[in-house]
């Protein structure tokens, strides 16, 4: 009996050790474009990456996947799931979307493919061959459940709760049921989705309003047919019935699942989809979809406040909503408020942050001005008054969202990509006069993308896309913008998406359908 007890104790000790190891390596998951609902691009805590550990920062692995690029569209920035208990043990996965309607799960500890799912096109309309303006295929990044509240300084420890396993029409040959008949007419728009055979019902009770309560670990993908798929992170199979979301062949961007609602934007009038924001109430049985049209003004992007308010930026045009930041209701997308400024072409998503109990928006304009707005009343009484404007200079901002973070001294920073640099700005609020002032400018970069901040380290990506140059990843001193590390000639193609991060790693995806990982080797 004592031998049996000793064996049981040893087994329990191993299980506890594995669990503690899994928890100790955790950092907050990157769940959507820009990391979180506010599009901050900030990983608050990471147990391995820091200024002091950059001497160990290095190229870790690369993985080329069998995706076909379409025009300049290839892979989307990875979203991460740090701890998942699978039939192969605990796994740390990143999920990458491919332009050919593919989804890949990659074990980011080892840089190996965990599963691949090809999503069969199921709309009644034919699939677009693609053009530079409307590339076709899957254009929006993947998204996981995203809390409306920003991350705290503590890592998200604990184990992932897997969804109920299911099989459906999504998958490789031999996986799931036969695909939908592409010649058949699509189901009635906005009607209740009929659960597919063998598909688990959609989970209820997601983290609505950012509060407690279970949220499924589904990976949401919006392929070319506009029918959203919720995938099981264990297998890539369908975890819920497919649901009609967007018109087929739309160019969709900025996908986010937060507060029980799935959001996306559509651009360029592709596939009969107007310039619009779309919202599906995923937790409702009928999956109703709301739409807000900008009446032709190009949509730069959107971010969410902690109460679910949607903040949308728009570019130039004849629409009353052109050159504006518009706030929308989280479900109905009814207009709540707005800020308009003639000539301020907003090509990038705003970023949302809170300081001193007050919530702010900051958004760059194409001409080099940087706007600071009150999220509660973006344009003041006349809808035209900003809290502060950094005046235009010789800089011109890229159509990339800014990033924001707070340093250990409590100073709020904004980082924004210009045509050939990253510019840093400090937020201040002296005598109730909020303002942004420029602090530093980085080295020259080629087609820079949105920078990210991981545990106090600023990472910038020289994308190289418009010059034919290869991408280069830089680690920058967050206080001065000086180079601390770079990837040199390691990356052999140009970037097709921005940066993202998982525990101890930073990811770059390139036009040759390769995922590149840089970071700190973790001892096992």
Q: Is residue 454's pLDDT more than 90?
A: yes
Q: Is residue 21's pLDDT more than 70?
A: no
Choose among 250, 214, 246, 215: nearest CA to 229: 246
CB atoms within 10 A of CB 444: 10
CB atoms within 10 A of CB 16: 10
Output the pLDDT for position 90: 87
**Poorest-confidence range of 85-94, 253-262, 287-296, 400-409?**
85-94
CB 141 within 8 A of CB 33: yes
- CATH code for the part of the protein at 30-519: 2.140.10.10
The rounded distance, in Å, linking the Cα atoms of 315 and 57 is 39
SS3 state at 205? coil
**Percentage of the chain surpassing pLDDT 70?**
82
The rounded distance, in Å, linking the Cα atoms of 75 and 141 is 8
Mean pLDDT of the chain: 85
17-23, Cβ contacts within 8 angstroms, sequence gap of 24 or more: 18/89, 18/90, 19/159, 22/83, 22/90, 22/159, 23/83, 23/157, 23/158, 23/159
The rounded distance, in Å, linking the Cα atoms of 510 and 306 is 33
The rounded distance, in Å, linking the Cα atoms of 98 and 77 is 10
Per-residue H/E/C for 411-447: CEEEEEEECCCEEEEEEEECCCCEEEEEEEECCCCCC
Q: Is residue 384's pLDDT more than 60?
A: yes
The rounded distance, in Å, linking the Cα atoms of 271 and 267 is 10
Average pLDDT over residues 291-301: 96
The rounded distance, in Å, linking the Cα atoms of 41 and 520 is 19
Alpha-carbon dihedral angle through residues 293, 79, 227, 399, given to the nearest 10 degrees: 30
Write out pLDDT tens, residues 330-375. 999 999 999 999 989 999 999 999 999 999 999 999 989 999 999 9
CB 135 within 8 A of CB 293: no
Write out pLDDT tens, residues 440-452. 999 999 999 999 9
Average pLDDT over residues 261-272: 95
Choose among 221, 302, 232, 279: nearest CA to 34: 302
Output the pLDDT for position 310: 98
Average pLDDT over residues 220-231: 97
Average pLDDT over residues 427-446: 95
**Torsion sign across C-alpha atoms 33, 38, 40, 43:** negative
> Phi and psi dihedrals of 295, rounded to 5?
60, 40
Output the pLDDT for position 153: 59
Q: Is residue 164's pLDDT more than 80?
A: no
Write out pLDDT tens, residues 22-66. 444 567 899 999 999 999 999 999 999 999 999 999 999 999 999
The rounded distance, in Å, linking the Cα atoms of 191 and 362 is 37
The rounded distance, in Å, linking the Cα atoms of 440 and 225 is 44
Residue bearing the bigger pLDDT, 275 or 19: 275
**Distance between alpha carbon 508 and the CA centroid of its chain, in Å?**
13
Output the pLDDT for position 26: 63
């Amino acid at each position: 009996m004592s031998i049996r007890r000793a064996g049981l104790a040893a087994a329990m000790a191993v299980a506890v050790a594995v669990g503690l190891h899994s928890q100790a390596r955790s950092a907050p998951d990157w769940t959507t474009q820009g990391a979180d609902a506010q599009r901050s691009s900030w990983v608050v805590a990471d147990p391995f990456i820091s200024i002091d550990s950059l001497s160990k920062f290095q190229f870790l692995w690369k993985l080329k996947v069998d995706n076909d690029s379409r025009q300049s569209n290839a892979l989307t920035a990875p979203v991460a799931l740090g701890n998942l208990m699978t039939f192969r043990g605990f796994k740390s996965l990143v999920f990458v979307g491919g332009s050919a309607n593919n989804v890949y799960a990659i074990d980011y500890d080892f840089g190996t493919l965990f599963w691949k799912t090809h999503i069969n096109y199921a709309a009644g309309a034919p699939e677009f061959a693609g053009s530079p303006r409307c590339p076709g295929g899957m254009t929006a990044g993947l998204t996981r459940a995203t809390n409306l509240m920003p991350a705290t300084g503590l890592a998200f420890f604990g184990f992932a709760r897997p969804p109920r396993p299911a099989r459906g029409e999504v998958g490789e040959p031999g996986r799931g049921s036969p695909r939908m008949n592409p010649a058949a007419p699509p189901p009635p728009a906005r009607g209740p989705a009929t659960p597919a055979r063998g598909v688990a019902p959609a989970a209820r009770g997601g983290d609505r309003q950012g509060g407690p309560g279970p949220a499924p670990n589904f990976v949401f993908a919006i392929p070319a047919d506009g029918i959203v798929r919720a995938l099981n992170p264990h297998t890539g199979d369908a975890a819920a019935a497919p649901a009609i979301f967007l018109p087929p062949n739309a160019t969709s961007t900025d996908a986010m699942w937060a507060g029980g609602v799935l959001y996306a934007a559509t651009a360029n009038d592709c596939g009969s989809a107007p310039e619009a924001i779309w919202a599906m109430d995923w937790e409702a049985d009928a999956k109703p979809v709301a739409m807000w049209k900008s009446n032709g003004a190009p949509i730069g992007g959107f971010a969410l406040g902690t109460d679910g308010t949607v903040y949308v930026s728009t570019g130039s045009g004849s629409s009353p909503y052109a050159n504006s930041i518009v706030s929308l209701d989280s479900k109905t997308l009814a207009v709540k408020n707005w800020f308009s400024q003639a000539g301020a072409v907003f090509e990038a998503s705003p970023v949302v942050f809170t300081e001193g109990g007050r919530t702010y928006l900051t958004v760059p304009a194409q001409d080099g001005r940087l706007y600071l707005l009150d999220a509660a009343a973006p344009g003041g009484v006349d809808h035209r008054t900003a809290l502060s404007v950094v005046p235009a200079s010789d800089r011109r901002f890229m159509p990339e969202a800014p990033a924001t973070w707070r340093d250990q001294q409590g100073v709020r920073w904004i980082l924004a990509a210009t045509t050939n640099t990253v510019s840093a700005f400090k937020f201040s609020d002296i005598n109730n006069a909020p303002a942004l002032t420029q602090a530093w400018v980085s080295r020259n970069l080629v087609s820079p993308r949105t920078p990210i901040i991981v545990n106090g380290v600023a990472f910038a990506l020289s994308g190289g896309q418009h010059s034919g140059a290869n991408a280069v990843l830089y680690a920058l001193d967050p206080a001065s913008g000086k180079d601390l590390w770079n990837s040199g000639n390691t990356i052999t193609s140009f970037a097709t998406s921005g940066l993202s991060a998982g525990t101890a790693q930073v990811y770059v995806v390139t036009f040759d359908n390769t995922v590149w990982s840089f970071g700190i080797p973790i001892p096992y």
